[in-house]
Structure 1
Amino acid sequence: MSSVSTASSVFPARFGRLTRFAKVAGQRLSLLAIFLIVWWLAAQRVPAFILPGPGKTWNALLDLIATGTFAEDLGITLYRVVAGFLLAALVGTPLGILLGANRRLGSFCEPVLSVVNTVSAAIWAIFALIWFGISNGTTIFVVFMEAMPLILTNVWQGAQSVNAEYVELARSFQMSRSKVMTKIYLPTVLPYFFSGARLAFGFGWRVSLVAETIGSSNGVGYRLRQAADLVQTDQVFAWTLTMVVLMVVLEYGILKPLENHLFRWKKRA
């Protein structure tokens, strides 16, 4: 009897999830269809070098893939973004925990973070070009400087939300500072970290293109600048479409499912 009742409760739950998935997928596909129709209609009224249509953009994308450097440029941009993002996470996470755990130190360093946040990616790219020249370091540095403050700020807010009673209890049991950080602060700030990391990764993609247009001889940003200089608007749209699709796949195919899996206990609670 228990197995029958379990099965009867599982099937409706699965059916409900499938229904919700089909509904969301239908909404997304409808939105995509509307976008393509509006794009196609707009492209009929202006020259192709101003606004190429979906068909011309698709053909340009196929031509780019056939050149052989498409995967290489995409791969090097992905490498630069991931490298800058990982460096930002390795630096921003412990700094955020430290500033959140020490209110006096946090108040002292807050103006510095505000100044860093006001500097645009283009300015960081110019500095990086002076310091690193035309190299991978230029783009990695720009991604790092844009992503690190976002991660640091979110982790900092998470560390400030730690219950002070837990910290006092841990100290009464004479737990070391490192254990207090790993056992109390780290679990609390993880949701804040993932929220900031997703935002920082998206920013990293965007600023990497800015950096590559200025200080790189390969990558997606460099190809975008090259296509724009030659007024190859269809290639500009093709590269842009590729980046959008890749960002959506990484966001909704990896980052968001990973976050939902790690923090599924929050939904149960």
Structure 2
Amino acid sequence: MKTTVKILKELPWTLWSGWGSVASILLFVALWNVAHQLYGSLILPSPLETFEKLTLLLGDPRIQEHLSLTLHRALKGLLISLALGSLLGFLAGLFKTASLLARPIVTILVGIPPIAWIVLAMIWFGLGEGTVLFTIIIASFPIVFVGALEGSRAIEGESQEMCDAFSLSWIQKLFHLYIPHLFSYLFPSYIAALGMSWKIVIMAELLSSSDGIGAELAIARSHLETITALALVCMMVGTLLIIEYLILEPIKREVQSWRN
């Protein structure tokens, strides 16, 4: 509760500290407009045209439904991968043999491109939500697993000795040593997994689903509607920026302050 209150109090500072990011975004938009002037609206619509189209799409109930569905899929797959990756990575970090056995498997999972997983999932699960969820989980799991593995293996020996000296129970060690320490390692991997999940859900929907933002992007591509496709891309990027900078960034600073 105290952490939540602290994060809410620091929200105005978070918004103020984001001016550097805003400046970089404005620079990107300026370069975008220059490219529009060079190539024309057919190839690259102007930022103003795109944002006007984006406003129209956001006001469309059908697009709102598709966006909600995409967010639901991404969150569902992400939560499953976070739970599995955190638990299995923590357990693997406690046992050296398990860690050695898991490393090659994780390397194989990371080495297989997401597009390959989508193709395999389409064969195994057909066209639909199963393919989308499977691809999100299999692509995000290794990121979280490695974070949990490294965190559990990096727990300081002095901290463990201090806990043993005070005869702390296993439950007390879990909540006062393992969880805070692990979370400081896990949270960066959670953010990376979030970005991965968001990209994968769009890609999987584009190739294997008839609904969601990815499916809408596929329709825009088939109709050569460049402005609609670009507006949908802006919608995806904007959603991810809101989640990361307004929700996750304050939590990240709190976690890093504990670590320091």
SS at match of 1:44: helix
Q: How far did residue 122 of structure 1 move?
A: 0.7
1:37 aligns with 30
Q: 1:3-33 deviations in whole A, cap 9, x for unaligned?
A: xxxxxxxxxxx9xx96x965752x3443333
Give the whole-Å Cα distance in 2 for the aligned partners of 1:162 and 1:29. 37
Give the whole-Å Cα distance in 1 for the aligned partners of 2:163 and 2:59. 61
Q: TM-score, normalised by structure 1?
A: 0.83
**Structure 1 163/237 Cα, relative in aligned 2: closer, same or farther at 3 Å?**
same
**Structure 1 217/183 Cα, relative in aligned 2: closer, same or farther at 3 Å?**
same
2:138 aligns with 145
Q: How far did residue 101 of structure 1 move?
A: 0.7
Give the whole-Å Cα distance in 2 for the aligned partners of 1:23 and 1:188. 27
The counterpart of 1:191, out of the listed 180, 184, 189, is 184
Q: How far did residue 64 of structure 1 move?
A: 2.1
The counterpart of 1:247, out of the listed 236, 240, 259, is 240
Higher RCO (C-alpha under 8 Å, 6+ residues apart): 2
Q: 1:208-241 deviations in whole A, cap 9, x for unaligned?
A: 1111111111111111111011110001110011
Identity %: 25
- 1:171-250 to structure 2, matched below 5 A, reads 175=169, 181=174, 183-250=176-243
SS at match of 1:48: coil
The counterpart of 1:103, out of the listed 93, 96, 105, is 96
**Structure 1 181/240 Cα, relative in aligned 2: closer, same or farther at 3 Å?**
same
Q: 1:152-199 deviations in whole A, cap 9, x for unaligned?
A: 1011000111134555676785955x7655554322211111110001
Asked if structure 1 preserves the Cα contact closer than 8 Å seen for 2:53 and 2:231, the reply is: yes
Q: Counterpart amino acid of 1:30?
A: A
Asked if structure 1 preserves the Cα contact closer than 8 Å seen for 2:184 and 2:255, the reply is: no
Give the whole-Å Cα distance in 2 for the aligned partners of 1:168 and 1:55. 61
Q: Which has the larger radius of gyration?
A: 1
Note if 1:90 corresponds to 2:50.
Answer: no
Q: Counterpart amino acid of 1:71?
A: Q
Give the whole-Å Cα distance in 2 for the aligned partners of 1:31 and 1:151. 29
Q: TM-score, normalised by structure 2?
A: 0.86
**Structure 1 101/51 Cα, relative in aligned 2: closer, same or farther at 3 Å?**
same
**Structure 1 135/105 Cα, relative in aligned 2: closer, same or farther at 3 Å?**
same
**Structure 1 202/103 Cα, relative in aligned 2: closer, same or farther at 3 Å?**
same
SS at match of 1:197: helix
SS at match of 1:49: coil
Q: How far did residue 108 of structure 1 move?
A: 1.7
Asked if structure 2 preserves the Cα contact closer than 8 Å seen for 1:147 and 1:200, the reply is: yes
Give the whole-Å Cα distance in 2 for the aligned partners of 1:263 and 1:44. 44
Give the whole-Å Cα distance in 2 for the aligned partners of 1:221 and 1:182. 40
Tell me the number of residue pairs that the alignment of Structure 1 and Structure 2 aligns: 249
Q: How far did residue 78 of structure 1 move?
A: 0.5
Note if 1:256 corresponds to 2:249.
Answer: yes
Gaps of at least 5 residues in structure 1 are 1-13
Asked if structure 2 preserves the Cα contact closer than 8 Å seen for 1:143 and 1:207, the reply is: yes
RMSD: 2.6
Give the whole-Å Cα distance in 2 for the aligned partners of 1:92 and 1:190. 13
**Structure 1 107/72 Cα, relative in aligned 2: closer, same or farther at 3 Å?**
same
Give the whole-Å Cα distance in 2 for the aligned partners of 1:23 and 1:142. 35
Give the whole-Å Cα distance in 2 for the aligned partners of 1:36 and 1:64. 20
